[in-house]
Structure 1
Amino acid sequence: MSGVTLTKAVKRYGDVQVIHGVDLQIDHGEFCVFVGPSGCGKSTLLRMIAGLEETSDGKIAIGGRDVTRVDPAERGVAMVFQTYALYPHMTVEENMGFGLKMNGHPKAEIKEKVAEASRILKLDPYLERKPKALSGGQRQRVAIGRAIVRGPEVFLFDEPLSNLDAELRVDMRVEIARLHKDIGATMIYVTHDQVEAMTLADKIVVLRGGVIEQVGSPMQLYSDPDNKFVAGFIGSPSMNFVEGVAGDGAVSVPAFGEFSVPTDVSLPANGEKVLVGLRPQHLNIAESTEGAKVDLCEQLGGVAYSYLICPTGERIIVETKGEEAPISEGTVSISFDPASALFFDAKTEQRLR
């Protein structure tokens, strides 16, 4: 079993603490994605698991074995970096097998393992090529193949698609998802791209400031976020937030007027401020003589995004589907089903339930 367990893991650089007592359980065979904004600690946490960063306090276990103070080479992990780090003078086959060769593995074993990794990653036509004769996506597949031949307990990916263009990113995302399905290994993947997180992960870990904000499946985090940060980070375009005032079982929002709140939501005292969260696809707009001003409209074929400015100055994005031209100018009224709204404490930004 190759699960990963972090128990009160802490990382300090001198007097500066960047990872704050993280507790996390990643089960055997899970695809776990660390996601968050730049500087949130996701790459640092990955490097702590790899042993490339020393763990200041706490414990890290892989497959039930305490590896907190174990050398990286003995942890049973293989890491794929953002940069391909291929040897330019070696062929694809030589690059993939170089680690095994340096560890003294027999030539026949190396050839067998490289052939298997090549089959999985569809690299057979390129085995005799040098890296300079490969595309960016092919080079990244070679880097992944180099990790596969080691037969690790855990694969670690540190933003492996960041250097690829948009089309290649989509192709490689599919390749990595297929790889996980084929070999069933535990994988931990770092990205700042929440679309990658949503499409790849069995489990997402949302980080901010070296602290875990929430852990769950992609749809759990999307539909049931614990706080405003998670609600705004997961989903594209991001959730809209407008300020309202609590009343008796209702919230008054200048942009929409007053509307009833579902009975399972515990509002603060009357007169207290509340943040109302609304997904762009849950809003409807109609032409009106007064209301929000249409600032910009993006039409992308089967979907369009309208960027609105409310009379209060708050900005809202509305998603509409279909090929008919959306409202692109003038003023509009906004409507929605109150059951689709989420509510957050204006001070703590925690979800009101």
Structure 2
Amino acid sequence: MTGVTLKGAIKRYGQTQVIHGIDLEIEDGEFCVFVGPSGCGKSTLLRMIAGLEETTEGEIRIGQRDVTHMDPAKRGVAMVFQTYALYPHMSVAENMGFGLRMNGVPKAEIDKKVAEASEILKLDPYLKRKPKALSGGQRQRVAIGRAIVRGPEVFLFDEPLSNLDAELRVEMRVEIARLHQEIGATMIYVTHDQVEAMTMADKIVVLRDGRIEQVGAPMDLYRDPDNRFVAGFIGSPAMNFLECDVVDGTVRHPALTDSIPVTNGVPTDARKVILGIRPEHIAVDRSGDTCTVDLTEALGGVSYSYLLTPNGDKLIVEERDDQRSNTGERIGISVRPERAMLFDPESGMRLR
């Protein structure tokens, strides 16, 4: 197996530039996830690696080979799409081995590779079935099996779970993560779902408007985001943001029962900052009355309370105690200073 390197990768459609000079190193055997909102360029970047989109400028390397302008079939990649694209008149085994048959691979070798992929993906009971007799998750496993039998250097996944229901999405997340552990291949996975990114990735690449916002391990991005966009995109529920005043070296907001000392590099007086705090890092004060509980979602072991602050800001608070907030209740809140993050209101960059 091998890694993937992008150097100054640019994509233009006519005069419109959609990918802006991407520099990225994906290590051999790494599970890398491209994540970001719709239209951020993640699928375009994946298709550039696959050779399905032409790279306007820059360089793409797979291992030691420069594949920037190489034919897709010669790049040593296999792609799994959002749609299964299975032939309805063929059995599971025939679908998985179709690409090898088209390349003139001997039948005995095809049968061996299909059997190996089938064992990995637990498809043995379904090899003689047609796609119409399979569930959505089973069809997606067949599509993945079709990629495995080709023996690619790199696997590319373009939102493969988007068409599945919630339960199957969870099941297939586990299947793909297990597959990566078992075969150890380099995998690049595109999704708009940050939960998929957090649970599957070795490395996450957060994209916005064709540019990389931050690259890192899932928990590194969660705990130490570089800017407000990454902080708000990674994590579910999303991080809370409050516009606050810095007065006498502390951050203040009408909803907070305590002020927060400013961090290094933040001017200590007479300015605005954005306070970022995650729902699990807010403590409820039952004796306070600075916030109104607008709505509560009880999910069993955890509840999320949606609060309205005195100046109209909205907050989400995670509660795990036996006593939970109720709709219409008045409460106070405080935050853990060491978990508070400050951002510049104009640039959105983290103030450290």
1:305-329 Cα offsets, whole Å, 9 max, x none, are 0000101110000001145443332
1:12-44 Cα offsets, whole Å, 9 max, x none, are 001100000000000000000000000000000
Q: Give the conservation status (yes or no) of the 8 Å contact 1:7–1:21.
A: yes
Matches within 5 A, 1:2-41: 2-41=2-41
Q: TM-score, normalised by structure 1?
A: 0.97
Give SS of 2:351's match. coil
Matches within 5 A, 1:213-292: 213-256=213-256, 259-261=259-261, 264-268=263-267, 270-288=269-287, 290-292=289-291
Q: CA deviation at 1:288?
A: 4.3
Q: Name the structure 2 match of 1:123.
A: 123
Q: CA deviation at 1:331?
A: 1.1
Q: CA deviation at 1:289?
A: 6.2
Q: CA deviation at 1:287?
A: 3.0
Q: Give the conservation status (yes or no) of the 8 Å contact 1:250–1:258.
A: no
Q: Give the conservation status (yes or no) of the 8 Å contact 2:157–2:188.
A: yes
Q: CA deviation at 1:57?
A: 0.4
1:243-296 Cα offsets, whole Å, 9 max, x none, are 11123431122221662325x532136211100000000111133463111100
Q: Name the structure 1 match of 2:93.
A: 93
Distance in 2, matches of 1:260 and 1:140, equals: 49
Change (3 A) 1:251 1:258: farther
Q: Give the conservation status (yes or no) of the 8 Å contact 2:257–2:334.
A: no
Q: Name the structure 2 match of 1:114.
A: 114
Distance in 2, matches of 1:49 and 1:142, equals: 23
Distance in 1, matches of 2:345 and 2:180, equals: 41
Amino acid at match of 2:297: E
Give SS of 2:289's match. strand
Q: Name the structure 1 match of 2:312.
A: 313
Matches within 5 A, 1:141-220: 141-220=141-220
Amino acid at match of 1:122: K
List gaps (5 residues or longer) in structure 1: none
Q: CA deviation at 1:338?
A: 1.1
Would you say how many aligned residue pairs link Structure 1 and Structure 2?
A: 352
Range moving further from structure 2, 32-41 or 315-324: 315-324
Distance in 1, matches of 2:218 and 2:141, equals: 25
Amino acid at match of 1:300: L
Distance in 2, matches of 1:285 and 1:247, equals: 24
Q: CA deviation at 1:69?
A: 0.4
Q: Give the conservation status (yes or no) of the 8 Å contact 2:249–2:269.
A: no
Amino acid at match of 2:274: L
Q: Give the conservation status (yes or no) of the 8 Å contact 2:257–2:332.
A: no
Amino acid at match of 1:82: Q
Q: Name the structure 2 match of 1:348.
A: 347
Distance in 1, matches of 2:258 and 2:9, equals: 46
Q: Give the conservation status (yes or no) of the 8 Å contact 2:55–2:68.
A: yes
Q: CA deviation at 1:212?
A: 0.1
Distance in 2, matches of 1:322 and 1:261, equals: 27
Q: CA deviation at 1:227?
A: 0.1
Give SS of 1:290's match. coil
Distance in 1, matches of 2:261 and 2:192, equals: 34
Distance in 2, matches of 1:292 and 1:260, equals: 18
Change (3 A) 1:247 1:338: same
Range moving further from structure 2, 277-286 or 65-74: 277-286
1:123-148 Cα offsets, whole Å, 9 max, x none, are 00000000000000000000000000
Distance in 2, matches of 1:196 and 1:247, equals: 40
Distance in 2, matches of 1:19 and 1:101, equals: 36
List gaps (5 residues or longer) in structure 2: none
Q: CA deviation at 1:103?
A: 0.3
Distance in 2, matches of 1:325 and 1:24, equals: 45
Q: Give the conservation status (yes or no) of the 8 Å contact 2:257–2:333.
A: no
Q: Name the structure 2 match of 1:293.
A: 292
